[in-house]
């Protein structure tokens, strides 16, 4: 019988470019488990603890830390050393009283240290919307989860104020919506892909054209120094209404 499924092994050279690792010193590296984020947009817990944070010298040490239940991702204990932590996920290590948020940077995904208060929530981009049989609205989020918006009257869903590419601030304990930031001119955004990945600024203009997919629309962003750059809407992540909900390295 032939082999089924994908490979469970991964070499360092063809590993995702978002992994800040030494590619020629060793041959192999752990492959992410199947989960909410695709391989090219996440890091494993082993990689985070050993290569990024330096809390472990070897993969075995990192595996032991994870297996002992000392690492939380989005408020839940994760014991899988290959669990994929992706964009905006919150990684916490209560024993050392430290918390981090997965953010993009020009050199790859990084673990940005955050205060404990900020570790109680995460930001999720609305990728899609669907309607249930009972007329309620389901928001499909970038991290693979979804949230149900209950409406009193499906013919006039006044509770549905959400649109694709907007951002919702999610409380990690109760999985409830704390705030909602719409995609509009003037809002703070973080670029999560393209040649300007990791940069932060405010939306100046969104170019709309007939027949063009919304994800491919050009967005002009201006940073705090007055520099302007363009990217597609697919790479724009709204991080607040007037000010960012989260701390950002680029915003300092």
pLDDT in tens, 47-82: 999 999 999 999 999 999 999 999 999 999 999 999
Domain with CATH 2.30.30.30 in the chain: 188-242
Maximum Cα–Cα distance for the chain, whole Å?
A: 61
Q: Give dist(CA 29, CA 5) in Å, integer.
A: 19
Task: State the CATH class of domain 188-242.
Answer: mainly beta
- What's the pLDDT tens digit per position in 125-184? 999 999 988 889 999 999 999 999 998 887 888 888 999 999 999 999 999 999 999 999
Q: What are the residue ranges of CATH 2.40.50.740 in the chain?
A: 120-181
pTM (two decimals): 0.90
CATH class of the domain defined by 10-116: alpha beta
The phi-psi region of residue 97 (left if phi > 0; otherwise alpha if psi is between -120 and 50; otherwise beta) is: left
pLDDT of residue 252: 46
Tens of pLDDT, residue by residue over 93-105, are: 999 999 999 999 9
Which overall architecture, per CATH, does domain 120-181 show? Beta Barrel (2.40)
Q: What is the DSSP letter of 196?
A: T
Q: What was the pLDDT predicted at 83?
A: 95
pLDDT digits over 89-132, tens only?
A: 999 999 999 999 999 999 899 999 999 999 999 999 999 999 98
Listed in order, strand segments (DSSP E) in 48-144 are 72-73, 76-77, 84-86, 90-93, 98-103, 110-114, 121-131, 137-141
């Amino acid at each position: 019988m032939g082999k089924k499924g994908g490979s469970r092994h991964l070499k360092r050279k063809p590993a995702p470019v978002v992994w800040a690792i030494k590619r020629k010193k060793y041959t192999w590296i752990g492959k992410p488990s199947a989960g909410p984020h695709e391989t090219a947009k996440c890091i494993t817990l082993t990689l985070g603890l050993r290569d990024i944070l330096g809390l472990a010298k070897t993969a075995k040490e990192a595996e032991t830390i994870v297996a002992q239940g000392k690492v939380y991702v989005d408020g839940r204990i994760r014991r899988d050393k290959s669990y994929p932590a992706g964009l905006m996920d919150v990684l916490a290590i209560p024993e050392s009283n430290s918390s981090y948020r997965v953010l993009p940077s020009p050199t790859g995904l990084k673990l940005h240290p955050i205060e404990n208060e900020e570790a109680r929530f995460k930001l999720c981009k609305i990728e899609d919307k669907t309607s249930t049989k009972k007329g309620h609205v389901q928001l499909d989020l970038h991290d693979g989860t979804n949230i149900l918006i209950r409406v009193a009257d499906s013919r006039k869903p006044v509770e549905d104020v959400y649109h694709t590419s907007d951002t919702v601030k999610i409380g990690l304990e109760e999985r409830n919506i704390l705030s909602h930031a719409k995609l509009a001119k003037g809002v703070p955004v973080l670029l999560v892909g393209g040649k300007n990945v990791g940069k932060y600024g405010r939306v100046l203009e969104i170019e709309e054209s007939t027949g063009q997919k919304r994800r491919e629309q050009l967005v002009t962003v201006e940073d705090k120094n007055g520099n302007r750059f363009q990217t597609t809407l697919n790479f724009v992540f709204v991080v607040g209404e007037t000010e960012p909900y989260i701390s950002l390295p680029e915003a300092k």
